[in-house]
Amino acid sequence: MPLTFHLYGFIIGGATVVGLLLAEHRFLQLKVITDKKKNERFFWQAVVTVLVSGVMGARLWHVVTDWPIYHSNLIAVFKIWQGGLSILGAVGGGVLGAYFFVRHQRLIKNDDQKKLFLTLLDISVFGLPLAQAIGRLGNYINQELYGLPTDLPWALTIDGVSYHPLWAYEALLTVLFGSVVWLVDTHPRWRQTLGMTMGQGHLFLSYIFYYSLIRFWLDFLRPDKAISFIPGLGINQLVLLGVLGIISVYMLLHLRKSKWFPLMLSAAVTLLILGSGLYVLNPEDGQTSPQESTPTTAQLATLVDDRQRMHILIGSRKINVEVVNTPASITQGLSGRSEIGSEGMLFLFGEKRVPQFWMKDMQFDLDLVWISDNTIVGITENVPHPTPGTQLVNLPHYRPPEAVDAVLEIPAGMAQAWGLKPGDPVVRTQ
C-alpha cells in the first residue's frame, strides 16, 4: 500500500522536534544528573513517555468535546492525520505522563522526585510555546481554527468569506511568551530579580496561566466551540476558568512576595483588554453571515446547474434532492425556510476538506449526511434548529469525521427511518 504524505503531520512533527531540542538544550545546562550521558538518557526517556501520553490526551480531549463528529463513525477517532489534537488535552496528558515517569524512578528519593518533576515542567516552557506556534501552521494548512467572519485587513479568506485567523493570534502570543522566557533566562540578573528558579514549577504555572487567558478570550471568536450549559461559554472555556481560578488562588497564597505575581497580574490585565477588544469586533447578529461555511468538495457526480433538482440513490432509497453548488447558494442553504421543499438538499463542493456547518436562521431540525467519493462517511443526526435571535457566537458547529466532497441535509429522523449508515453508496440516477 503506498504511503501518503500529510503536510499537517509533517508540521506537527517538525514543531515537536523544535520544541524538544530547545527543552533538551536547557535541561542539559542544568545538569540535573551529574553524569552527562545519564542526564541525556533520562531526558529522552521522559520525552517518550510525555509524547505518548500527550498525544493520547490531545486526541481524547478533542473526541470528548467534539463527540457529535465521531459517534456515528468510531473508526474516525483514530484518524489523527485528518486533524483534531487539542493542546489542552496534550498539556494535561503530558503532565500526567511526566508525573508517572518520575514516580517510577525508584532509586530517586521522594523529595528529589518532586523537584525533578517540577524541573521537567519548568523546562518544557523553553520549547512548548514555540512548538505550539509552529503547530498552528498546521491548522492554517488544514484551513481550521479560524474565527467568526470579520472585515479586518488581516482576515483569513476561505472561499470568498473572511474570518478571524485564530491560529495566527495564538501563534503570535505564544511566541511572545517564549521569547520573554529565553530573554530573561539568558540574563542572570534579570532571572534573579524575577525569581525565575528552575525546579519550583512556577515558570510552568505562569505559562499555563498565560495560555489559559489567551484561549479563554480567543474562544469567544471560535464558531466551532462546543457550547456549555452557560450561554456564550464553550466547554473549554469553563475548564479554562477553573484552571485560572485555581492558579490565581495559588499565586495569592504562595507567590505574593515573588516578582512573578505582579508580572502575571500585568499579563492578565493586558490580555483581558485584548480579549475584550476582540469580542467587540464580533459581527452583530443582524449582519449577514453564512449558515454553513463553504470550504470543501469534489463533485459527487457530474455537476448540475445550481438549484436544479435531481434524483440520487442513497443506500437502497431513491430520493429527490435540490442541488446547490455555488458560493451564494451554499451560503444560503436552508436558512429562513419553513420547510425543506424536497426530500433533501445536496451541497456539492469543489475539493475535499473538513467543512463546518452551523444552523444560522434554521427553522426545523436536520440530519446531516457526510459524503466522500460517492460514499457515506458519517451521519450527524437530529441537529436542532436554534432559538430565534441566537447570536452566531452561541451557535453549535458540526463537522464531518473526515474530509468530504458533499453533504446532504434531510429532515431530522429520516436517516434512521431510511436505514442510512456509513459505507452506503450514493449514486446519481435519472
Average pLDDT, the chain: 77
Higher pLDDT: 119 or 231? It is 119
How does strand 317-324 pair with strand 344-353? parallel
CA distance 82 to 142: 8
Higher pLDDT: 225 or 177? It is 177
pLDDT band for 130, please (50, 70, 90 cuts).
Answer: very high
pLDDT at residue 351 tops 90: no
Give the torsion sign (CA, 232, 172, 181, 199).
positive
Higher pLDDT: 233 or 401? It is 401
pLDDT at residue 243 tops 70: yes
- Residue 291: the pLDDT is 39
CA distance 218 to 212: 10
CA distance 346 to 312: 10
- Residues present in the chain in total: 430
**Strand intervals (E) in 121-262:** 156-158, 161-163
pLDDT at residue 261 tops 70: no
Q: How far are the Cα atoms of 308, 369, 405 from residue 346, in angstroms, in the given order?
A: 10, 9, 11
- Residue 66: the pLDDT is 72
Closest CA to 12 of 91, 96, 85: 85
CA distance 426 to 369: 11
The residues, ordered by sequence, that sit 6+ positions from 215 with a Cβ below 8 Å of its Cβ are: 88, 170, 236, 237, 240
Instruction: Considering only CA atoms, give the Rg of the chain.
Output: 24
Please say whether the beta carbons of 404 and 296 come within 8 A. yes
Please say whether the beta carbons of 315 and 327 come within 8 A. no
- Residue 224: the pLDDT is 61
pTM across the whole model: 0.63
Q: What is the mean pLDDT of residues 90-112?
A: 81
Q: pLDDT tens digits, residue range 288-312?
A: 333 333 333 333 333 444 557 778 8
How does strand 344-353 pair with strand 426-429? unpaired
Alpha-carbon torsion angle 336, 337, 338, 344, nearest 10: -140
- Residue 293: the pLDDT is 37
Sheet containing strand 404-411, edge to edge, reads: 375-383, 366-372, 404-411, 344-353, 317-324, 309-314, 426-429
pLDDT band for 106, please (50, 70, 90 cuts).
Answer: low
pLDDT band for 357, please (50, 70, 90 cuts).
Answer: confident
CA distance 24 to 126: 9
pLDDT band for 393, please (50, 70, 90 cuts).
Answer: low
Please say whether the beta carbons of 49 and 99 come within 8 A. no
pLDDT at residue 160 tops 80: no
pLDDT at residue 317 tops 70: yes
Any idea which of 110-114, 329-333, 351-355, 389-393 has the lowest mean pLDDT? Answer: 389-393
CA distance 12 to 339: 44
Q: pLDDT tens digits, residue range 18-74?
A: 999 999 999 888 887 777 788 888 889 999 999 999 889 988 888 887 776 676 667
Closest CA to 292 of 218, 364, 392: 392
- Residue 287: the pLDDT is 34
